[in-house]
Amino acid sequence: MALPATDGRQYVYRVYAPEDALLADLFWEAWHCHDEGPFPRAWDLFDAAEIQRVG
């Protein structure tokens, strides 16, 4: 999942979840992970995130 941040960059997070997880739950998991890190604040807009299933 890629989250755009206030510095103009996108930060990518891998979120492990069950197949039936809601996209909003994946978004908030990544957003909280970013928010607790040292990076500039990520936009908390669901529509701004890029969510892609891998593996």
Count how many residues are written for the chain: 55
Q: Is the pLDDT of residue 55 over 80?
A: no
The domains of the chain are located at 2-48
CB count within 10 Å of CB 43 equals 13
Segment 2-22 shows an average pLDDT of 89
Least confident range of 7-11, 15-19, 50-54: 50-54
How high is the pLDDT of residue 8? 92
The answer to whether 25 touches 10, Cβ cutoff 8 Å, is no
